[in-house]
Amino acid sequence: MTHYFFPNSRYICWIFVTPVIVCVITFLAWVYFEKDQFEDYVYPAGAEAIGWGLELFPVAVVLFTGIFTVWKRKRAGKATAFIKPGPLMKPSRLWGPRPDSGLPTPALQQQHQENGKF
């Protein structure tokens, strides 16, 4: 029902709100940085570096994948969209379940529609 009143709320949350929250949390962790410790033991710098690497790895993967996808599409002369839902957020005509899943795929559904089986 919320989707009825706010049709673009899902896009707004995933494109703007979620990345902003992740960036704010990471920034605040940098600003209010304290050495990691457990009771009286202070972890060495190498352990902290591994922790930061684990924290920033998913962010780096998302950024790298997005930049690579946009670069690849621009190089091929295809359209790219940053703000509005566009070609990077729309499934292709052949999108669907795996062929070995036993579920009808879009290509198979189209064949059945052309043959009058649906």
Q: What is the pTM (predicted TM-score) of this model?
A: 0.43
Q: Of 99, 81, 98, whose CA–CA distance to 90 is shortest?
A: 81
Cα 83–55–45 angle (5° rounding)? 140
| Residues 60 and 15 placed together within one structural domain of the fold | yes
- Give the model confidence (pLDDT) of 12-68 as tens digits: 787 788 888 988 988 898 899 888 888 889 889 898 889 889 988 988 898 898 888
Mean per-residue pLDDT, 100-108? 70
Q: Of 20, 59, 23, 61, whose CA–CA distance to 69 is shortest?
A: 61
- The count of other CB atoms within 10 Å of the CB of residue 44 is 10
Domain extent, residue 19, equals: 2-92
Rg (Cα) of the chain, in Å, rounded? 22
| Residues 78 and 101 placed together within one structural domain of the fold | no
- Give the model confidence (pLDDT) of 66-76 as tens digits: 888 888 888 88
- Give the bridge partners for 41, in sequence order: 38
| Residues 6 and 21 placed together within one structural domain of the fold | yes
